[in-house]
């Protein structure tokens, strides 16, 4: 270290230290963020819930005593017991296993949908808003029109067109959320565009791509992270609602919304098959919301909305 | 007790602590103050020294994480900390009032001014009409010409100056026994600031109210107050009268603040500013000895080890310094101890014109409403810049001054191409420049750079200083990565920052440091012309001074020409060889600095000049107050654009005819109907005397 | 004569349109029936239970079929077949009138059936009635006033009377262009108000020609999109009658105070069918493997919860007592053998297919159970559950019911089995969704459909069952029961296998 | 202000036009043969072709759009494929019903969530705040179909307070329908509650930090005046916009809720239309919904502008 500061040292060495320092820096950032999240009871609760569900998604097969689709013969419609913590459903599937294994599904689906929407929305928002002009105007008019359609309605229409499947749900999430994400990004870009350092870069003849990537994008990330968290929680809800309406993920997937919807006619026979997945949805939504709130505090300090 | 004047406020050993994360910091430590009835007390110090904290502690209104952890605050003998809520409200209602720093956010945006005032005045027993009558009276008292209109307005419809007046009117409502003003003029134009200062002085005299006036500008405080307390890093370091401040300040920090303040006519090459080196310590790791020791030019070993006490001098001032006696005796020269490596500008190279604008025009179209469009009302536009012709000689500095909204920034942005001009020409060493950035090639771009006003936005917060500089060097000088990195170190050195800063992110830098990096970045391409738009205005006086000096140094090292933009005539005159004064989109006066600062001046220049706050209570300079606000640039007044506010209005001719250019001296012109000799006769000769006294 | 206890006066009608049900005076009774919203109310096009239920209340069939599939007179007081089986003489009820007061005559019957069989009009019944050569009033009688109609057939049809009772064969007034314009039927109830997708309100037809019917003064159909909501409404007392519901909902109503449940066996079934004309179904070993991989009893237990009957891969169910063969039994489940067969057919590594399922009834649950059972034999299916409108209406030939390789189709109960063979299993059957084509089968089916010898027909049907069990590309895992529940404030509720044909006019308030 | 309104109206029209285009194209893309749906699975091919021609389904899409839009604007919303009835009367009647439900929902949800939001905002980071925010999230986290189920079980079957079912007769007035509206409205309230509460809370917290609150407090005003007169006025402004947005949520929520309670509103009609590929009905419902949503947004914007002098006096 000391050698490095005097006389500049050899370049590769200094680059290497740079790298080495950068890696833990990321970790410490996350560690720091996590600690801040745990500084408050509500966001601590939210983060814990999210982490629990995340663990379920990752280690589900290790936790779940049965597979999600196994119809245990002779064990249909059993009330919760030691064998079947959450009971079994009308076909004799273990509800606990299905709830646990369903976590991966919903997290992956809502997560991927959010991710795609965020990536696409960010790209559109960044370039369109930075360039400005007519294309920007037209793009966002179009997005406004999409936003004028209530999300669930739009989702139903789109799913009607592309047919129900896991991929369709992804498509729907993207279509429904890209305009929203793009709008958020755009608003940040429009304010960042005016900043001195962006103008300085322009004065130095930087290319648009480089300015967008190096100067504008980093300012978008906090708002984007927060928005992504928010979108994620809505995505969970939307996926569940679509599952319930039977136009989303297909049976026999342990999709929570689908489970609730399938258990509904059986509510007087197997209430547990309905209430446990419903509770899982609620807890995850609560968790993501509270965690997103906390994330907002960490990422956008001093801003409440 | 009996022979002392009655105390309005006593602060005894006050310590204020902020909780921050796990730890805590003492933002104010063991501060004692006594303000007598009718006394105006000034509180100065750099940003972060704890001024607002002290003010809010006195108000018993600290942020949630703040806590008075020691000492006592007594208002007219009554301890405030122990007052129950209801009584404290009574005290707020009747006895102490605060005029906050930011007038914009201190008024409720969705309530009419009148209603907000009524609220402060009403005590419940009166009719609405009666209260409103008193509100209007209150507005008149702060020289608001049209109180009915203002009372019916919403805050956003008023200018900053007017908002500040409203807040002052509000504060004066209950005839308070103590008035605290926290930087009431910091964000205002010089002309507005001057008017507010006059108002405050007048009110204090007529009301016999005790006042605590907080500012970071010694000149302002000296102009208003009977006594001045200097705060540094949460500690009171000196407590003295304005006379003592002028004649013999004893604390090195006070002296540093004084020497950082440019006076009108002071020139960089001749009489450089002597800024305080270094930064204020972080309050959570205050040094063990004298808090100022790390930055003190005359600090001894003792100073680093032992905290000095606040001692009283024979003259009745208080000072916290181990060496005050030596300073008083003249045994140490505070100024000599500091290096002032300012080199005189090299006049020989001047001659060639580096940057020239001819009849530069920029009009921003105003959007027409649907109705207007249908009625075919001709489109209107903001006349932001009208026929501005400027020349900046090689290696020379042209200063551009004017009130907010006069078009300075727009001029600069047109020149660099961030805004496309509506008309006129811009050329760089005889190369005609395209209006927009896209039309200019890289070589030209690199020869013309700009440093922006707001240091907070000058640097990408997500990149290290090294990244920023390296990128510019790679881009503009075509250097390789390794070479760029080395050069980046050199650039930092050039702006007097240690090379370790290469790894810092902007978040770790102070405002002044950020601005230095921004300057370094602009210098990465060795520009021929550098435009500085209010680049020092947002900074503390001491930081401002050091950047001004840096700019002078860099100019002599690199030979760039500067277009230096500021609303502060003192700063401009310090740096500029020539000055152009702008009013409402037009240049109204232009010429060499010495000439422009001497009568005859354009009446507007005269007003600007008189508004500059001065330490030395301006021997005989009468303040020229401009009435009203800057008119709208959408429909600029006909004839002379200044006629609506001109103190030397001739009459009809000013309203109808555009004034001609008058030649005051060779190279010195102004736009006015009044001939040079007549004008000179009207103007205070004190100006000339004053200016000549400072420039040898 | 009007039904007892119900004065033939205006107020009853006015009442039905106005105040909500609970506010009705005790003297007037209203039966509120929960139903899926109808799409078509033109008798010629109607097909769903709710459509038929409504139309059956407004119009009349010539002959009706009772709960036990026996023919009953309705608008026809008698139907007499000629010796050669080529002509049928129908005598109408003399005092039957349409709601507009005009009498029901031979002309109306002729008009109705001519409309139904007109090949130009493209109605679904055109095929059914293609055997009819002529419909006319007997020589010398004026159809406009007479009440006798003669149907002349090309070939003998042992089931012709059942055909007369086809769901679409509701008698409309001669010359009616759009039957939905004023619902001018001759049936037990008159339409007072129709609010599409929401409800239909009817009042008793006081001039109805059957004594003692209808049993209630007002009839109201309330449409539900959601079966659970309908059952909740029944529990909560907002409707009185609910038919055709999912099995678990039915079970949840059992033991509910104030509600009488009823369940009757039907010949309706869910048909799991694999296309036999393309891979993999064109290999008989694959078909056999599917059959061997399926455990029908387990499906019956979990999906229909033991209501109805276990199926045997043939549409001829136990309900057709004499036609049903008790010794034709689908082979027991044998996963190992199924695997072997698949391997022999070249699917040693398993077989992957999409299974198209309309999301109604218990079909999705059936698909899930099948998926699990088949998986053990190496048949992996992806369930594609789609709305019925897509399953039956999709223009993508690989996804609709006639084109998909593997699908589940619901088939309603019919009074006689020949129908299934003719429309779905013979080579050129219109809805041969499994694309089954078997010479021996076709011969047997044609013979059974035309012979007048009952014994011969019974034999043919038994052979057909053996063929289908052995090589038919279809699995019939169960015959579902028809499930209904009614508030105990009513009685005389006799549900029929096809719920829509239930005689609502027979229901009376409980004593 | 008038200029502001004019501009907003122009944008509204533009948005509606674009949205109508999207709706039209998307609905046309829906799989499923309309003719087949109308005539049933037993219909013959010539009959189907004839019907397609009659419905104009064999024409190019842009032409169909233009003629559809033209007819729509002149009040001819077409005839429902599935019921054969004119669409307009049907849709308007159901829209009226949905409005009643939405109205009652807003009547319950707005004051309740504002109250909760303000209380939470004033007690920010205190236990009460956490209770409110977690509690309101818990009810929003439960899908409508579950809350609906629970409410029916409790209020209809256990307590016998309200009917389990909301199939009101056509033409039932608001007060007459009230008992049947309560449960669905409560369910819908839960959809909105958390959202509005949280944003109101955020608004209050944000405004409490503003300089003018200090000014007002230091005038010696009692806290309730500071909050009531100064803070709420500004804090509730953004809530207006939020309410308009949540109106969109409400519409989405109603699709599910109306089915669960069998309430004859637009949402139930929409599922009916989607199930039956009833394009004219779908298009009309969607457009009417979008119009309502857009008008709500416009109304909110205007109200916002009207209450916010910064925009009003622009
Ligand atoms: N709420 C707070 N929590 C923690 N630290 C604070 C808080 N407010 C101020 N400080 C810190 O206390 C110190 C003094 O701040 P204060 O605002 O009183 O300074 P000031 O002299 O008024 O500065 P300025 O000229 O910038 O207004 C600073 O270091 C600041 O960072
Ligand atoms: N993009 C723009 N569109 C419309 N009007 C503008 C625009 N930029 C500036 N103006 C107007 O042009 C006039 C001159 O503004 P400019 O920013 O150049 O003044 P300035 O002297 O730099 O003021 P300040 O001291 O406040 O920075 C003002 O009236 C301003 O409102
Ligand atoms: Mg301050
Ligand atoms: Mg400017």
Looking at the fold, whether A226 and A172 belong to one and the same domain comes out as yes
In the structure, what pLDDT confidence band is assigned to residue A26 with cuts at 50, 70 and 90? low
Dihedrals phi, psi of C52, to nearest 5 degrees: -65, -40
Question: Average pLDDT of B132-150?
Answer: 86
- Tell me: the pLDDT tens digits for C355-394? 999 887 789 899 999 999 999 999 999 998 887 777 877 7
- Residues forming beta bridges with residue B356, ordered by sequence position: B391, B427
Q: What angle do CA B197, B199, B200 make, to 5 degrees?
A: 65
C74-91 pLDDT tens trace: 999 999 999 888 999 999
User: C252 and A267 in contact by Cβ < 8 A?
Assistant: yes
3-state secondary structure of C461: helix
The closest alpha carbon to B680, from B655, B660, B695, B662, belongs to B662
How many CB atoms within 10 Å of residue D125?
13
CA of B407 to the centre of ligand 2 (A): 6
Q: How much is the pLDDT for B588?
A: 94
Do A7 and A134 sit in the same domain of this protein?
A: no
- CATH number for the domain spanning D188: value is 1.10.3720.10
Within a domain: A129:
yes
CA distance B392 to chain A (A): 20
Q: Among B15-24, B439-448, B635-644, C334-343, which range has the highest average pLDDT?
A: C334-343
What is residue B349's DSSP assignment? G
Q: Is the pLDDT reported for residue C396 higher than 80?
A: no
The pLDDT-based confidence of B694 (bands split at 50, 70, 90) is very low
Is the pLDDT at C18 greater than 50? The verdict is no
| Bigger pLDDT: B331 vs C276 | C276
pLDDT in the model for residue C370: 94
Pick from D80, D167, D277: CB nearest C196: D80
**Ligand 1 pocket: which of B18, B21, B540 to mutate (most atoms <8 Å of CB)?**
B18
How far does D223 lie from chain C, in Å, by closest CA? 50
Dihedrals phi, psi of B77, to nearest 5 degrees: 85, -5
Separation of CA B37 and ligand 1 centre (Å): 28
Cβ atoms of C223 and C199 closer than 8 Å: yes
A149-203 residue pLDDT tens: 888 888 888 887 777 778 888 988 998 899 989 988 888 888 888 888 999 999 9
pLDDT higher than threshold 90 for residue C488: yes
Rounded CA gap, C474 and C273, in Å?
4
B402: Cβ below 6 Å to ligand 2? yes
pLDDT mean over B121-134: 81
In a domain, D32, yes or no: no
Q: What is the pLDDT of residue D40?
A: 64
Give mean pLDDT, residues B248-264.
Answer: 89
Expressed in angstroms and rounded, the spacing between residue A171 Cα and the centre of ligand 2 is 46
Chain A positions touching B518 (Cβ under 8 A) are 196, 200
DSSP state letters, chain A? -HHHHSTT--HHHHHHHHHHHHHHHHHHHHHHHHHHHTTSHHHHHHHHHHHHHHHHHHHHHHH-SS-SS---TT-TTPPS-SSSTT-B-TTS-BHHHHHHHHHHHHHHHHHHHHHHHHHHHHHHHHHHHHH-HHHHHHHHHHHHHHHTS-HHHHHHHHHHHH-SSHHHHHHHHHHHHHHHHHHHHHHHHHHHTTSHHHHHHHHTT--HHHIIIIIIHHHHHHHHHHHHHHHHHHHHHHHHHHHHHTSSSPTTS--HHHHHHHHGGGTTT-HHHHHHHHHHHHHHHHHHHHHHHHHHHHHSTT---
Q: Which residues 330-369 in chain B show a CB within 8 A of chain D?
A: 369
Q: Which band of pLDDT confidence, cut at 50, 70 and 90, is reported for residue B415? A: very high
Is residue D50 in some structural domain?
Answer: no
D14 touches chain A (CB under 8 A): yes
In a domain, D10, yes or no: no
What's the whole-model pTM score? 0.79
D88 close to C (CB below 8 A): no
CB contact under 8 A, D255 and A237: no
How many Cβ contacts (< 8 angstroms) between chains A and C? 59
- Total count of domains within chain A: 2
Classify burial at C145, counting beta carbons within 10 Å of its beta carbon; exposed 0-12, middle 13-18, buried 19 or more.
exposed
Q: Give ∠ CA A76-A81-A86 in degrees, rounded to 5.
A: 70
- Smallest CA–CA distance, residue D141 to chain C, in Å, is 22
**Residue A45: how many other CB atoms lie within 10 Å:** 18
For residue A101, the enclosing domain spans 48-299
Classify domain B392-420+435-579 at the CATH class level. alpha beta
Looking at residue B695, its pLDDT comes to: 36
pLDDT of residue A141: 84
What pLDDT is recorded for position C10?
A: 35
Collapsing DSSP to helix, strand or coil, B103 comes out as helix
**Which ligand ends up closest to the CA of B19?**
1
Cβ pair D6:B90 closer than 8 A: no
pLDDT in tens, B327-382: 888 888 777 655 555 555 555 455 789 999 999 999 998 876 666 667 777 778 88
Q: Which of A70, A71, A265 sits opposite C246 (nearest CB)?
A: A265
Other residues' Cβ atoms within 10 Å of the Cβ of residue C454: 11
Phi, psi at residue B43, to the nearest 5°?
-130, 115
DSSP B172-239: TTT--SEEEEESTTTTS-HHHHHHHHHHHHHHHHHHT-EEEEEES-HHHHHHH-SEEEEEETTEEEEE
Q: B600-626 pLDDT, tens per residue?
A: 789 999 888 888 887 765 555 667 777
pLDDT over 70 for what percent of chain C? 94
Mean pLDDT of C424-452: 90
Question: Quick check: ipTM above 0.85?
Answer: no
Strand partners, C150: C89, C136
Cβ separation B452–A204 shorter than 8 A: no
Decide the pairing of beta strands B235-240 and B318-319.
antiparallel
Tell me the pLDDT of chain A averaged across its residues: 81
B477 touches chain A (CB under 8 A): no
Q: Where are the domains of chain B?
A: 107-174, 248-329, 392-420+435-579, 599-694
> Residue B4: pLDDT band by 50, 70, 90 thresholds?
low
- Lowest-confidence region among B312-316, B358-362, C259-263: B312-316
User: Does residue D202 belong to the interface with chain A, where contact is any CB pair within 8 Å?
Assistant: yes
Closest chain C CA to residue D155: C236
Give the pLDDT score at D69: 87
Q: Please indicate, yes or no, if residue A304 is contained in any of the structural domains.
A: no
- A288 and A206 share a domain? yes
**pLDDT at A15 > cutoff 50:** no
Q: Answer for the pair B421, B383: CB distance below 8 angstroms, yes or no.
A: no
Specify the higher pLDDT residue, B561 or D22. Answer: B561
Q: Report the CATH number at residue A264.
A: 1.10.3720.10
Place of tokens 């007179």: C73
**Ligand 1 lined by B253 (C-beta under 6 Å):** no
Q: What is the dihedral of CA A105, A107, A108, A109, to 10 degrees?
A: 80
Bridge-based pairing of strands C241-243 and C30-35 is parallel
Helix (H), strand (E), coil (C) string for A135-152: HHHHHHHHHHHHHCCCHH
- Residue B662: how many CA atoms within 13 Å on its side-chain side? 20
Residues spanned by the domain of D202: 87-313
Same domain for A70 and A29? no
Q: Is B65 in the pocket of ligand 1 (CB under 6 A)?
A: yes
Calpha distance D305→D299 (Å, rounded): 10
B284 Rama sector, left if φ>0, alpha if ψ -120 to 50, beta otherwise: alpha
In chain D, which residue's Cα lies nearest the Cα of C41?
D83
Cα B189 to middle of ligand 4, angstroms: 11
For residue B213, give the nearest of B373, B40, B337 by alpha carbon.
Answer: B40
Per-residue pLDDT at B489 exceeds 70: yes
Atom of ligand 1 nearest to the CA of B234: 14
- The more confidently predicted of residues B645 and D307 is B645
Mean pLDDT (chain C, rounded): 87
- Tell me if B191 CB under 6 Å of ligand 2: no
Contacts of B460 in chain A (CB under 8 A): 197, 214-215, 218
What secondary structure, in 3-state letters, does A236-280 show? HHHHHHHHHHCCCCCCCCCCHHHHHHHHHHHCCCCHHHHHHHHHH
How many whole angstroms from B623 Cα to the centroid of ligand 4?
Answer: 25
Q: Quick one: pLDDT at residue C5?
A: 34
Confidence at A145, pLDDT banded by 50, 70, 90: confident
User: Does residue D61 sit within a domain?
Assistant: no
Which chains form contacts with chain D, at 3 or more CB pairs under 8 Å? A, B, C
Question: A12 with A96, same domain?
Answer: no
Q: Is B184 in the pocket of ligand 1 (CB under 6 A)?
A: no
Structure confidence by residue, pLDDT tens digits, B659-684: 999 998 888 999 999 988 888 888 76
* Nearest by Cα to D238 from D290, D308, D312: D308
Same domain, A150 and A31: no
CA distances from B428 to B354, B523, B524, C132 (A): 6, 17, 18, 101
Question: Do A80 and A18 fall within a single domain?
Answer: no
C233: pLDDT confidence band, cut at 50, 70 and 90? very high
Spacing, Cα B277 to ligand 1 middle (Å): 21
**A64 lies in some domain:** yes
| Residue C236 at interface with chain D, using a CB cutoff of 8 Å | yes
Least confident of A92-96, B378-382, C223-227: B378-382
CA-nearest residue to A153 within chain D is: D252
Q: Is the pLDDT of residue B22 over 80?
A: no
Whether chain D lies against chain C with 3 or more Cβ pairs closer than 8 A is yes
Confidence (pLDDT) at A239: 84
Chain B residues 595-634 with a CB less than 8 Å from chain D: none
Nearest residue by C-alpha to atom 9 in ligand 1: B53
Closest CA to C372 of C298, C286, C308: C298
pLDDT grade for B410, boundaries at 50, 70 and 90: very high
């Amino acid at each position: 270290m000391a050698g490095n500061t005097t006389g500049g040292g050899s370049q590769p060495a200094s680059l290497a230290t740079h790298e080495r320092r950068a890696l833990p820096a990321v970790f410490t950032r996350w560690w720091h963020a996590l600690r801040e999240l745990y500084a408050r009871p509500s966001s601590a609760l939210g983060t814990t819930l999210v982490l629990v569900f995340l663990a379920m998604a990752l280690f589900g097969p290790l936790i779940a005593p049965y597979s999600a689709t196994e119809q245990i013969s002779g064990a249909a419609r059993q009330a919760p017991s030691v064998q079947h913590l959450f009971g079994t459903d009308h076909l004799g599937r273990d509800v606990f296993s299905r709830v646990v294994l369903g976590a991966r599904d919903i997290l992956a689906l809502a997560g991927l949908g959010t991710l795609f929407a965020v990536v696409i929305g960010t790209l559109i928002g960044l370039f369109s808003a930075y360039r400005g002009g007519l294309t920007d105007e037209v793009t966002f008019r179009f997005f406004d029109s999409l936003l004028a359609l209530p999300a669930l309605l739009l989702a139903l229409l789109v799913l009607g067109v592309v047919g129900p499947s896991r991929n369709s749900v992804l498509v729907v999430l993207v279509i429904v959320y890209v305009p929203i994400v793009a709008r958020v990004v755009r608003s940040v870009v429009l304010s960042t565009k005016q900043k001195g350092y962006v103008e300085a870069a322009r004065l130095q003849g930087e290319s648009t791509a480089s300015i967008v990537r190096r100067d504008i994008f980093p300012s978008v990330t906090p708002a984007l992270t927060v928005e992504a968290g928010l979108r994620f929680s809505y995505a969970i809800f939307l996926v569940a609602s679509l599952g319930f309406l039977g136009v989303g993920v297909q049976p026999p997937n342990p999709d929570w919304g689908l489970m609730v919807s399938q258990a509904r006619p059986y509510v007087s026979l197997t209430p547990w098959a309905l209430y446990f997945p419903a509770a899982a949805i609620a807890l995850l939504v609560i968790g993501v919301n509270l965690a997103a709130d906390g994330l907002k505090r960490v990422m956008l300090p001093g801003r409440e909305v | 007790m009996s022979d002392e004047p009655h105390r309005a406020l006593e602060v005894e050993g006050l310590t204020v602590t902020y909780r921050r994360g796990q730890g805590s910091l003492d933002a104010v430590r063991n501060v004692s103050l006594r303000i007598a009835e009718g006394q105006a007390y000034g509180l100065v110090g750099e940003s972060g020294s704890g001024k607002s904290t002290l003010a809010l502690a006195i108000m018993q209104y600290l942020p949630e994480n703040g806590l008075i952890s020691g000492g006592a605050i007594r208002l007219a003998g009554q301890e405030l900390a122990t007052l129950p809520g209801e009584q404290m409200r009574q005290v707020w209602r009747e006895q102490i009032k605060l005029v906050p720093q930011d007038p914009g956010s201190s008024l409720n945006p969705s309530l009419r001014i009148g209603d907000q005032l009524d609220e402060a005045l009403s005590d419940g027993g009166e009719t609405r009409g009666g209260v409103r009558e008193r509100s209007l009276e209150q507005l008149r008292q702060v020289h608001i010409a049209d109180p009915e209109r203002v009372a019916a307005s919403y805050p956003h419809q008023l200018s900053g100056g007017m908002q500040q007046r409203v807040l002052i009117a509000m504060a004066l409502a209950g005839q308070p026994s103590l008035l605290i003003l926290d930087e009431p003029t910091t964000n205002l134009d010089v002309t507005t600031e001057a008017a507010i200062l006059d108002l405050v002085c007048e009110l204090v005299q007529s009301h016999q109210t005790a006042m605590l006036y907080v500012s970071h500008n010694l000149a302002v405080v000296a102009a208003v107050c009977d006594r001045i307390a200097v705060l540094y890093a949460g500690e009171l370091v000196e407590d003295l009268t304005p006379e003592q401040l002028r004649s013999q300040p004893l604390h090195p920090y006070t002296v540093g603040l004084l020497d950082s303040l440019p006076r009108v006519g002071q020139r960089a090459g001749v009489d450089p500013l002597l800024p305080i080196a270094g930064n204020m310590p972080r309050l959570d790791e205050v040094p063990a000895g004298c808090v100022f020791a790390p930055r003190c030019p005359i600090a001894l070993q003792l100073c680093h080890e032992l905290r000095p006490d606040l001692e009283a001098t024979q003259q009745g001032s208080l000072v916290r310094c181990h060496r005050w006696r030596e300073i008083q005796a003249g045994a140490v020269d505070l100024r000599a101890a500091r290096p002032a490596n300012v080199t005189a500008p090299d006049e020989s190279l001047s001659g060639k014109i580096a940057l020239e604008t001819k009849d530069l025009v920029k009009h921003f179209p105003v959007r027409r409403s649907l109705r207007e469009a249908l009625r075919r009302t001709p489109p209107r536009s903001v006349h932001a810049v009208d026929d501005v012709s400027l020349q900046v000689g090689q290696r020379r500095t042209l200063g551009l001054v004017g009130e907010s909204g006069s078009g300075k920034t727009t001029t600069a942005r047109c020149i660099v191409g961030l805004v496309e001009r509506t008309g006129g020409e811009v050329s760089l060493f005889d190369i005609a420049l395209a209006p927009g950035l896209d039309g200019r090639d890289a070589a030209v771009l690199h020869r013309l750079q700009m440093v922006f006003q707001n240091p907070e936005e000058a640097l990408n917060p997500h990149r290290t200083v090294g990244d920023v500089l390296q990128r510019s060097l790679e881009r503009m000088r075509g250097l390789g990565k390794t070479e760029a990195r080395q050069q980046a170190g050199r650039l930092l050195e050039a702006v007097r920052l240690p090379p370790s800063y290469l790894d810092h992110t902007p978040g770790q830098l102070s405002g002044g440091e950020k601005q230095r990096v921004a300057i370094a970045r602009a210098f990465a391409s060795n520009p021929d012309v550098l435009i500085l738009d209010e680049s020092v205005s947002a900074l503390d006086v001491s930081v401002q001074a050091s950047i001004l000096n840096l700019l002078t140094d860099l100019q002599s090292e690199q030979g760039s020409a500067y277009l230096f933009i500021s609303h502060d005539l003192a700063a401009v005159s310090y740096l500029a060889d020539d000055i152009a004064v702008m009013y409402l989109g037009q240049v109204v006066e232009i010429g060499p600095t010495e000439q422009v600062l001497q009568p005859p001046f354009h009446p507007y220049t005269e007003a600007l000049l008189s508004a500059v706050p001065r330490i030395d209570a301006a021997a005989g300079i009468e303040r020229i107050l401009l009435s009203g606000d800057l008119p709208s640039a959408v429909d600029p007044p006909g004839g002379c654009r200044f006629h609506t506010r001109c103190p030397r209005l001739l009459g009809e001719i000013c309203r109808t005819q555009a004034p001609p250019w008058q030649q005051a001296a060779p190279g010195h012109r102004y736009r006015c109907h009044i001939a040079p000799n007549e004008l000179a006769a009207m103007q205070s000769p004190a100006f000339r005397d004053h200016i000549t006294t400072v420039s040898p | 004569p009007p039904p007892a206890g119900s004065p033939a006066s205006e107020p009853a009608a006015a009442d039905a349109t106005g105040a909500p049900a609970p506010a009705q005076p005790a003297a007037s009774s209203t039966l509120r029936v929960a139903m899926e919203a109808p799409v078509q109310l033109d008798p010629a096009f109607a097909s769903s239970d709710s459509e038929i239920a409504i139309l059956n209340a407004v119009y009349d069939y010539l002959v009706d079929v009772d709960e036990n599939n026996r023919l009953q007179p309705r608008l026809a007081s008698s139907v007499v077949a000629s010796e050669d089986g080529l002509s049928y003489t129908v005598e109408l009820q003399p005092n039957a009138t349409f709601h507009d007061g005009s009498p029901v005559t031979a002309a109306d019957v002729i008009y109705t059936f001519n409309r139904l069989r007109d090949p130009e009009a493209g109605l679904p019944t055109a095929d059914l009635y293609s055997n009819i050569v002529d419909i006319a009033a007997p020589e010398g009688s004026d159809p406009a006033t007479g009440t006798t109609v003669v149907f002349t057939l090309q070939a003998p049809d042992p089931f012709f009377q059942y055909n007369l009772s086809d769901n679409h064969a509701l008698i409309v007034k001669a010359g009616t262009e759009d039957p939905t314009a004023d619902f001018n039927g001759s049936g037990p109830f008159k339409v007072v108000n129709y609010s599409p997708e929401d409800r239909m309100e009817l009042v008793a037809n006081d001039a109805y020609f059957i004594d003692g019917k209808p049993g209630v003064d007002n009839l109201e159909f309330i449409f539900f999109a959601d079966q659970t909501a309908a059952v909740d409404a029944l529990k909560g007392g907002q409707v009185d009658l609910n038919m055709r519901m999912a099995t678990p909902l039915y079970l949840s109503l059992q033991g509910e105070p104030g509600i009488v449940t009823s369940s009757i066996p039907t010949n309706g079934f869910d048909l799991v069918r694999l296309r036999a004309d393309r891979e993999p179904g064109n290999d008989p070993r694959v078909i056999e493997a599917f059959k061997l991989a399926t455990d029908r009893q387990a499906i019956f237990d979990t999906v229909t919860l033991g209501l109805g009957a276990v199926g045997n891969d043939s549409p001829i169910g136990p309900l057709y007592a004499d036609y049903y063969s008790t010794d034709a039994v689908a082979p027991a489940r044998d996963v190992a053998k199924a695997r072997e067969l698949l391997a022999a057919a070249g699917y040693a590594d398993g077989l992957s297919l999409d299974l198209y399922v309309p999301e109604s009834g218990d079909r999705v649950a059936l698909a899930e159970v099948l998926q699990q059972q088949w998986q053990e034999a190496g048949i992996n299916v992806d369930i594609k559950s789609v709305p019925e409108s897509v399953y039956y209406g999709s223009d993508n030939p690989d996804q609709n019911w006639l084109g998909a390789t593997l699908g589940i189709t619901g088939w309603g109960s019919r009074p006689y089995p020949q129908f299934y063979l003719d429309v779905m299993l013979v080579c050129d059957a219109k809805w041969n969704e499994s694309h089954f084509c078997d010479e021996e089968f076709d011969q047997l089916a044609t013979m059974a459909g035309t012979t007048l010898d009952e014994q011969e027909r019974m034999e043919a049907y038994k052979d057909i069952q053996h063929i289908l069990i052995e090589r038919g590309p279809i699995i019939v895992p169960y015959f579902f029961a028809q499930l209904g529940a009614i508030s105990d404030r009513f009685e005389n509720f006799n549900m029929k296998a096809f719920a829509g044909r239930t005689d609502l006019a027979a229901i009376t308030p409980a004593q | 202000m008038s200029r502001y309104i004019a501009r907003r109206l122009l944008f509204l029209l533009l948005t509606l036009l674009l949205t109508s285009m999207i709706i039209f194209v998307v609905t046309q893309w829906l799989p499923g043969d309309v003719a087949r749906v109308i005539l049933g699975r037993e219909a013959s091919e010539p009959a189907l072709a004839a019907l397609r021609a009659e419905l104009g389904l064999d024409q190019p899409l842009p032409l169909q759009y233009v003629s559809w839009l033209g007819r729509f604007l002149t009040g001819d919303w077409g005839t429902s494929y599935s019921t054969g009835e004119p669409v307009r009367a049907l849709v308007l009647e159901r829209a009226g019903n949905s409005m009643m439900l939405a109205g009652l929902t807003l009547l319950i949800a707005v004051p309740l969530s504002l109250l909760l939001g303000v209380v939470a905002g004033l007690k920010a980071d205190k236990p009460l705040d956490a209770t409110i925010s977690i509690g309101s999230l818990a009810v929003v986290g439960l899908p409508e179909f579950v809350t609906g189920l629970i409410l029916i079980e409790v209020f209809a079957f256990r307590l016998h307070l309200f009917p389990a079912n909301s199939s009101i007769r056509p033409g039932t007035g608001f007060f007459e329908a009230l008992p049947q509206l309560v449960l669905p409205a409560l369910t819908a309230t839960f959809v909105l509650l958390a959202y509005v509460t949280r944003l109101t809370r955020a608004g209050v917290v944000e405004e409490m930090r503003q300089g003018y609150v200090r000014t007002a407090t230091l005038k010696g005003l009692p806290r309730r005046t500071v909050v009531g007169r100064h803070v709420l006025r500004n804090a509730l402004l953004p809530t207006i916009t939020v309410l308009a947005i949540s109106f969109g949520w409400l519409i989405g929520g109603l699709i599910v809720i109306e089915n669960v309670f069998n309430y004859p509103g637009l949402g139930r009609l929409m599922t009916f239309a989607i199930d039956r590929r009833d394009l004219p009905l779908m298009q009309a419902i969607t457009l009417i919904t979008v119009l309502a949503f857009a008008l709500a947004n416009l109304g909110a914007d205007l109200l916002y502008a009207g209450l916010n002098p910064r925009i009003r006096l622009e």
